[in-house]
Amino acid sequence: MCKLTARWASVVVLAGMLLSSKAMANDVDDLHWMSGCWALDRQEHGSGENWMQLAGGLMLGVSRVVSNGETVAFEYLRIVTDDGSIALIASPSGQSTTRFELVSMREHEVVFENTNHDFPQRIRYRLEGNGRLIADIFGNINGVARTTSLPMTRTECVNSIGEN
């Protein structure tokens, strides 16, 4: 009887471990709140980020900053899943591509990090209660800690010729 009880206890512990690891596992599907079109607050019209909905294990994004009627910065973004991990891959303004690994994910917040990158080393997206998306970038430049917050407001997505 004691061996049977010990065996059932092992099964219960193992099942609990499997369930808890599944519940704790991050899923790129949980980032659905990022999808859509976002206008950068206090920036010229046309500045912002657009995130496509997840499809095929991939979210695609693009950002643009416009100043004095000219695009001064742009970035192609991907959130990918491979080998059981999630990463943000950024290709800013024609520079080399950089991979940022997922370090934390909560209901409306996700953080990616690459400590070997020049700047930024950490990128956080968070959705505030008022429906605004905030992109925070953190890092060091010449040994000085820097943080930049980019607040965005959800906007209507339009196609390339300006029609809905």
Looking at this protein, which amino acid is placed at residue 42? R
Per residue in 106-144, pLDDT (tens digit) is 999 999 999 999 999 999 999 998 889 999 999 999 899
Per residue in 23-58, pLDDT (tens digit) is 335 688 899 999 999 999 999 999 999 999 999 889
Confidence of residue 5 (pLDDT cuts 50, 70, 90): very low
Q: What is the pLDDT of residue 163?
A: 52
Q: What structural domains and CATH numbers belong to the chain?
A: 26-155 (2.40.128.20)
SS (H, E, C) 61-88: EEEEEEECCEEEEEEEEEEEEECCEEEE
* Structural element, H or E, at residue 15: helix 2-24
